[in-house]
Structure formats: structure tokens, C-alpha cells
Amino acid sequence: MKRPHAMACAAFILGTPAWAQITLPDGPGKELVSKNCGTCHAMSRVTEAGYTAEEWRNSIHMMKNVGATVQAGEIDAMVAYLAKNFPAKPRPAAVVVPGDARVSIREWFVPTAGSRPHDPLPTADGALWYTGQFSNVRKLNPATGAVTEYAMPDPAARDPHTPIFDRDGILWFTVQAGNFVGRLDPKSGEVKLVPSPTPRSRPYGILVNLKNVPFWVEFGSNKVASIDRDTMAIREYALPDPASRPRRIAITPDDAVWYTDYARGYLGRLNPATGLVDEWPSPGGPKSQPYGMLADGEVIWYSESGVKPNTLVRFDPRTQRFQSWIIPSGGGVVRHMVRAPDGKFALALSGVNGVALVEKQ
């Protein structure tokens, strides 16, 4: 079975020959980078990037995990070349906002290099599960070791994203590539897909509210959306600023839909009953790229992924005050946050190949 990344790479190679015109700087490691990085994507993905040596190493391992033919003995030379010629670019400094709340952050780094943890799942027994986005994604029965895979009924549907169960045991998910929202009935194995009304809207973070209605944000547009579980009809809610690009979602006990506006550096709240939207600028500024988030009762927690190091941010709607903390490892883009049954928060530290637990003191 071909991996989606490999198929996407093949399509890119056939349709975009202009990448060959990009000239890499001379130096040891140039040929290795050209050979290994130019197989699956445009060389501009390399020349326009900028990372530290460890970040380049992590990126190379990620590519290796999804089919790049990088040999173990080539990695050091590639890292040295890339870090010298395409060093880390300046990013906004983290802004620490003091406050009365206290937290502790514990981090672990996963054994598979370049795994890119994406979606953490803390369970009642104290375990912390996660998906390794660049290693493998599947349904696993821990008791038997059996793995079940569910194929998408439409070949255009790639990159199934952020699965969430509703209160009837139906699994809902979004599909960025192909522009769908889907549902899976685990009892029958039936998968249904519904196209998003807005073209290229890239449905992303999804949750189910207290009325058992799935809501999600459209990262390719300035919209939040919901679906009727019976008719599969989709309703979209436009956010006031056309430049908004909401990426993750949280829902508070009043069924307000909160979102992180990745493009503008804002935290937002939508009242689906009235359509009213309120927004607050994130402490790190317009380039802070708020990303992973969750609701802890009425309080909102999220991470700023565009600042260095990444921050953990707390927002209390009652006082409308922010507080923030540095993530010790830097975070490297916290793509998802999930509340554990015991009240801790699980974070996926994608860019540093780790996971973390946050405990309120």
C-alpha cells in the first residue's frame, strides 16, 4: 500500500519541473541534500526554510520515515550543510505574562526519531498515547495487537485528521486534502464523507459540543462549521476578518466555540446561537501563531507556536486576563492539546519529537 506522502511526492515531481532550476550553495553535503531532498518535494522547501542543526536533523528523520532514501551515514553531513547554509530564522521572542496560576510541565521524548507526535491522548490509567504523524497512524487493539484500517470511500480524501467520538460512539474526523468532513460507524465500518461547502477550506480541528453536535474550524478559510448528525447538512459561520485562519477549537460548558487564529495571532470565541464573535490579541503578537488549545471548564489554554520558545497560555474569560509560561524544551510547535481524566493537559511537542503533561498546582 502506497503512503499518501509518497503519492503526493510523485504528483509533485511530474507537475513541477521548475524546482530543478534552484541552485544550492556549494559545500560538503550539497550533493547529498540535492539527492535526498529533491526526490519528494520542491527544493524551495529547503532553500526557503531555516532551522537549527537539531531541527534540521529532526526534519531529515521525518522525511526518512515517510519514504525518503536517506542513509544513516549521510545524516550528519546533511545536517551540517543545512544548518550552515539555511540557519534558523529570527522568530518573535516568547512573551511571559505573570499571574496567580501555577503549573508544572513534564516532558518526554519519543524513541522514534522524526516521529512528529501530533495528537496526544491521556487515558484514565495514567498512560499517554500519541500519534506519530510521520511514522504510522492506525487503530490498535492493545489486548490482541490487532490493527484495523478504514479506507476513505473517495480517492480525493487524503490526510484524515483529528478523530473525535460523539456520545453515541460515532467517530467524526476532518480531511484537509480533499476538503471533507467524515464519520465512521465502528460497528459497521461504514465511512461517510461530506464535502465542505467552501472550496479549499481545509477542515481541521474538530470537537463535539454538549448537544452532541460536531463543530470544526476551516483552516483554509475564515470559517467555523457544524454538521447535522442526521442529515449530514453543514452550516458555516463566517468570522469577521477575512484574513482569519482558525486552526484548533475548544468548547466551553456554555457551548461557546473558541478558536486559535493562527494567521492573525488572536484568540476568538463564537456564539453559534447568535453568530456573535469576540476576539483578543494573543500576548505574543500577530506572528505568535496560536495553535493547540483546550477548554478546562470556562478557562481556555493554548500554545503559541510561532514564538521561540513556544509558550503555554491561559485565558480566563471572566477576568479577560492572560497568563503564560515557557515550554522548557521549546515545544517546536504544539499542534494539539487534550485534557486528561485527572485534569492534567497533554501536549504534542511535534517539532522536538516529544510529548508533555501539564499539571495545575
Full-model pTM:
0.81
- Which is it for the CA torsion 107, 123, 147, 336, positive or negative? negative
C-alpha cell at 162: 483529528
Which residue type does 211 have?
K
Which residue ranges make up each domain of the chain? 4-85, 103-360
Q: How far apart are CA 356 and CA 347, in angstroms?
A: 5
Please determine, for residue 359, whether its predicted confidence score (pLDDT) is greater than 80: yes
What pLDDT sits at residue 123?
77
* Greater pLDDT, 51 or 273: 273
> How high is the mean pLDDT of the chain?
85
Residues in CB range of 69: below 8 A, 6 or more apart: 36, 39
What pLDDT sits at residue 295?
98
pLDDT tens-digit series, residues 313-340: 999 999 999 999 999 999 889 989 999 9
Residues in CB range of 210: below 8 A, 6 or more apart: 251, 253, 255
C-alpha cell at 21: 532550476
Residue 131 binned pLDDT confidence (cut-offs 50, 70, 90): low
103-360 maps to CATH 2.130.10.10:
yes
Which residue type does 319 have?
T
Closest to 354 in 3D by CA, of 118, 164, 173? 118
* Greater pLDDT, 274 or 146: 274
* Greater pLDDT, 4 or 231: 231
What pLDDT sits at residue 309?
95
Mean pLDDT of 103-123: 78
| 26-35, 110-119, 211-220, 272-281, range with the lowest pLDDT | 110-119
Please determine, for residue 205, whether its predicted confidence score (pLDDT) is greater than 60: yes
Residue 346 binned pLDDT confidence (cut-offs 50, 70, 90): very high
Please determine, for residue 74, whether its predicted confidence score (pLDDT) is greater than 70: yes
Percent of the chain with pLDDT over 70: 85
Mean pLDDT of 212-237: 97
